[in-house]
Structure 1
Amino acid sequence: MGEFATGLTAPVEIVNANDSRMFVVQQNGIIKIVQPNGTVNSTNFLNIGSKITYGGERGLLGLAFHPQYSTNGYFFVYYNDLDGDITVARYTVSSDPNVADVTTEKIILNQAKPFDNHNGGSIHFAPDGYLWVVTGDGGSGGDPNNNAQNKNSLLGKLLRLDINSTGPYNIPPGNPFVGVDGADEVWAYGLRNAWKFNFDTVSGNVMIADVGQGQIEEINRMPLTQAGINYGWRCYEGNNSYNTAGCPAQSTMTFPIAAYDHSGGKCSITGGYIYRGTQYPALQGRYIFADYCSTQIGILNSDNSITWTSAFSGNNFSTFGVNNQNELFVAAVNSGKIFRVTTSTTLGTQENDLSNQIKVYPNPASKKVFVEGVKDKNTSVEIINFEGRKVLEQGKIEDDNSVDISGIPAGVYFINLNSGNQKSYSKKIIIK
């Protein structure tokens, strides 16, 4: 992983405007421009520090350039205002392409929220030309106001807005709750505090990383044409029930394609991107993300298992972004650094990529599960339930490559393999 830019303050978003510059959102209300060689412009692109509440999870959090930015100069930001409320606003660039006109603010959306935390903050224009906005559930713990499941609340949602209107916004055709129960702005619901979502236009999917309550972090992947999805929070955290009182049937919800627990010092997912650049073919088509606490980069494999890199200690990864060549970058909020994600970052030059070699079968399994492809005889095996508790901690794999699971109740679990040289592998298994 190559160090690309330094000296930033609390970077929380990286965006490009279809040119060679990268725009870095600082949580303190300032947007900086980073040149292709990694130098940071001394002049701010935008400074709205006087308009925002900065601290904890609050601040300036999101940035999206209008699809016609090159002609209309419009860009959109997401921040907590002085009351702590969620605000989406439009600004216009000045005659200097490196400086925005701070006097041009047009408020698009203002949403009160009850608590300081869980502000969401990702905003992106979809291929459909509409602005998609992810909001947190309003905060505290366990969503006490049940905002995420309440279709009439704008909190804990993915919103879809037509901002090409004279008023603040119009409702795009196809939004699922127009004319029925639910807020017209809502596209999807049941999110806790999605910390980064984006679109993968190659596969036509939206990728949402949702931060868990205390046990499970989740990755969601759904076609961006599919409306009205319920991602399950506060009824479910990941795949396990959290608080199902008054919840709709489980069959009506969409569960994550991948999840991980908090073992190994993990605590909070930072959503990334499916790599679509050209410089690192080994990464092509892989979703690359991070865990904020463990300082590890995660790679979602084609079978939806996760491969983790070793830790990049001292770097709490807060956001990913791509340049106009689709090359991938990651920022650390505490060190103020941006790194270029390379093959060696993520795969330890293939060494870390156990997923290509390892097979776990059968799945579903009963009595025994077999693990093939582990070269390190000291690899330890643990099986963890969806509450994050270890149900099996076995020293090593038996000579016939088996692991005895006969005493474990039927259910959904993770099998984690850890070897002494920082390689790890995690896969969801079903025990029947």
Structure 2
Amino acid sequence: MKKIILFIITLFAFSVSAQTVAVQTFATGLSNAVALVHPPADSRLFVVQKGGLIRIVNSNGTINATPFLTVTGLSTESEQGLLGLAFHPNYATNGFFYINYTNTAGDTIIARYSVSAIPDIANTTATILMTVDQPFNNHNGGSLAFGRDGFLYIGLGDGGSGGDPQGYSQNMTIDPNFPSRVMLGKMLRIDVDTTFGSLNYGIPSTNPYATTAGLREIWAIGLRNPWKYSFNRLNGDLWIADVGQSTREEINKTTFPLPNIGLNYGWRCYEGTSVFNTSGCPTFANTVVPFTDYVYGSNGRCSITGGYFYTGTLYPNFANKYIFADYCTAEIGLVDASGVITWNANLPGVITSFGEDVNGELYITNGTSVSKLVDTSLSTISLNESEVTIFPNPATNELYIKNNNNLALQNISIADLTGKVVFNQDIQNIDSNTVNITSLAKGIYLVTVETQSGLTATSKIIKQ
């Protein structure tokens, strides 16, 4: 990230006539939330707070009063702090999880912890896996994630300042004074289930530099500040959002099985699809060409916040799309299979991170709250707005169905977001119908109107 300023996101206005990405507040009362993850097969969401706390958000949106873990001895200057969390694929049986934070010396620490006998509380004893010296207080990366191969991927930025002044992203020469800085601007890959020599982790034999001392952990080079990256939970593809310098913000996609040839994502030679500094660099064709990128500064956009390839089931319009945001405009972007970006939901405040629940549904954090990502259009409408109008939205006690073209309406049904029908009523062919919804709890519902000929119109409403 270029800058961290945290605001509160409020509920975005919904539209029933066009595809709209919006958010529904799920949990509030957080502080400087910068990551959101869940353990395997677990409905809880774990929120990483930059100041050192990991908080548990339950499936009903409540936040546990006692933190899951409190990390002390942090530097929180600029982009430093507690930044990343990943649960072991076998967390349910071994209880291990891993964090990425910045210590008081300003260096990146990768550490392993374990859960206590109480599922909502972690043990406080840490095993340090890795320390990486940081020359500046920005571009630390921070994300952690396990790939489908079972290895832990660690994304590190180029060390900071601007323009990668020391050339760390492309550097593969070890500085004896700062040997760990060769890791900067790289994607590392380690095996947490084995050990190598004196290390508290192992080196995958397929790592491209597995036999070269000092470089063994490196899987790929050429990153500026990967904020953030994620794996498609269904097929293992890796998506990396790399924050740009002053020209382009880029998204990289690497398909599974991930190659073991030493990928080069291009920075500082190239910034997205633009040339930045090609002194001593490979050709653009010999780097990983971004899946897509967008112009820095266009409409105020200036810093990408990576998200997820949607694998949920509630919102068909999200299917086959990678969903991310721009930090500066709080716009949410949807990337299709051709790399075309569609911008939606210019929200107030900022979006610091995305999260995915056990079902593949998406959430965002804005520092102080967690919100669900929702689609308000459904794209299942067979009737258009000029024929049937459902209002008001939000609604309190009643919904009105205006039958503009005197269609032969037959039925209205209302379902919650799990698909459970909570209201069903036959309706007559009259100019307007009134539906009493006082019995419905507050929330978002899918309203479907059906004609006698079988045409349907479905939209979402908020009951407040």
TM range, normalised to the smaller chain? 0.7 to 0.9
Q: 2:92 aligns with which of 38, 51, 70?
A: 70
RCO comparison, higher one (Cα < 8 Å, 6+): 2
Aligned 8 A contact 2:233 2:311 in 1: no
1:335-414 → structure 2 map (5 Å cutoff): 336-344=368-376
1:265 is aligned, of 278, 286, 300, to 300
Counterpart position of 1:155: 184
For 2:204 and 2:230, the matched residues in 1 are separated by 19
What is the identity, as a one-letter code, of the residue corresponding to 1:254? V
Of 35, 38, 43 in structure 2, the residue corresponding to residue 20 of structure 1 is 43
Cross-structure match for 1:200: 232
Specify the alignment match of 1:185 in structure 2. 217
- Identify the residue that residue 117 of structure 2 maps to in structure 1: 95
Answering whether residue 285 of structure 2 is matched by residue 251 of structure 1, we say yes
Aligned twin of 2:321: 286
Shift of residue 147 of structure 1?
A: 0.6
Q: Matches of 2:213 and 2:38 in 1, distance apart?
A: 37
Q: Offset at 1:292?
A: 0.4
Residues 196-229 of structure 1 deviation map (CA, whole Å, 9 limit, x = unaligned): 1111143431100000001210000012421311
Q: CA deviation at 1:178?
A: 2.5
Q: Deviations over 1:310-357 (max 9, x none)?
A: 31112x101101111111101112xx111101112xxx6669xxxxxx
The answer as to 2:38 corresponding to 1:4 is: no
- Specify which of 307, 310, 330 is matched with residue 295 of structure 1: 330
Structure 1 residue 180, shift from structure 2 partner? 5.3
Give the secondary-structure state (helix, strand or coil) at the position aligned to 1:71: helix
* Conserved 8 A contact 1:160-1:175: yes
The Cα shift of 1:52 comes to 1.0
- 3-state SS of the aligned residue for 2:280? coil
CA distance in 1, matches of 2:212, 2:143: 27
* Partner residue, 2:155: 134
Report the 3-state secondary structure (helix = DSSP H, G, I; strand = E; otherwise coil) of the residue aligned with 1:289. Answer: strand
Matched residue type, 1:299: L
> In the alignment, is residue 313 of structure 1 matched against residue 342 of structure 2?
no
1:390-414 Cα shifts (integer Å, max 9, x gaps)? xxxxxxxxxxxxxxxxxxxxxxxxx
| Contact kept? 1:63, 1:122, Cα under 8 Å | yes
Q: 1:328 to 1:58 in 2, by over 3 A?
A: same
1:275 is matched with 310
User: Partners of 1:94 and 1:203 in 2: how far apart?
Assistant: 32
| Aligned equivalents of 1:264, 1:309: Cα separation in 2 | 13
Change in 2 beyond 3 A, CA 1:180/1:72: closer
Assess if the C-alpha contact under 8 Å between 1:125 and 1:131 holds in 2: yes
Is 1:226 the counterpart of 2:249? The answer is no
1:110-161 Cα shifts (integer Å, max 9, x gaps):
0001111000011111111111110010001010111100135101111000
Once the two structures are TM-superposed, the CA of residue 73 in structure 1 deviates from its matched residue by 1.0
Q: Specify the alignment match of 1:86 in structure 2.
A: 108
Output the CA distance in 1 between the equivalents of 2:106 and 2:358.
Answer: 33
1:230 to 1:113, Cα distance in 2 relative to 1, 3 A: same
Report the equivalent of 1:322: 356
TM-score by length of 1: 0.77
Q: Tell whether the 8 Å contact from 1:196 to 1:209 is kept in structure 2 after alignment.
A: yes
1:425 equivalent in structure 2: none
CA distance in 2, matches of 1:123, 1:247: 28
CA contact (8 A) 1:318 1:331 kept: yes
> Matched residues in 2 for 1:349 and 1:310: separation?
16
Q: Deviations over 1:19-74 (max 9, x none)?
A: 111000001110000011111100000001x2211132100000001111111111
Please list every run of 5 or more consecutive structure 1 residues that lacks an aligned counterpart in the other structure: 352-432
**2:275 partner amino acid:** S
Larger Rg: 2
Distance in 2 (alpha carbons) for counterparts of 1:181 and 1:76: 24
Task: Give 1:59's aligned residue.
Answer: 81
Equivalent pair of 1:11/1:26 in contact (CA under 8 Å): yes
User: Tell me, what secondary structure is at the counterpart of 2:183?
Assistant: coil
Q: Cα distance 1:252–1:180, how it changes in 2: closer, same or farther (>3 A)?
A: farther
Counterparts of 2:353 and 2:172 in 1: how far apart (Å)? 28
Equivalenced residue count is 343
CA deviation profile, 1:358-405 (whole Å, cap 9, x unmatched) = xxxxxxxxxxxxxxxxxxxxxxxxxxxxxxxxxxxxxxxxxxxxxxxx
Counterpart Cα distance in 2 of 1:57 and 1:232 = 23
On the 8 A contact 2:148/2:236 being kept in 1, the answer is no
Q: Partners of 2:372 and 2:351 in 1: how far apart?
A: 12
Q: Corresponding residue for 2:63?
A: 40
Alpha-carbon distance change, 52 to 208 in structure 1, aligned in 2, over 3 angstroms: same
* Partner residue, 1:169: 201
Matching residue of 1:369: none
Q: In structure 2, how many angstroms separate the alpha carbons of the residues matched to 1:320 and 1:85?
A: 25
CA distance in 2, matches of 1:173, 1:93: 29
Instruction: Report the aligned-residue RMSD.
Output: 1.6
Contact 2:320–2:336 (Cα < 8 Å) also in 1:
no
TM-score with structure 2 length normalisation? Answer: 0.72
Conserved 8 A contact 1:133-1:158 = yes
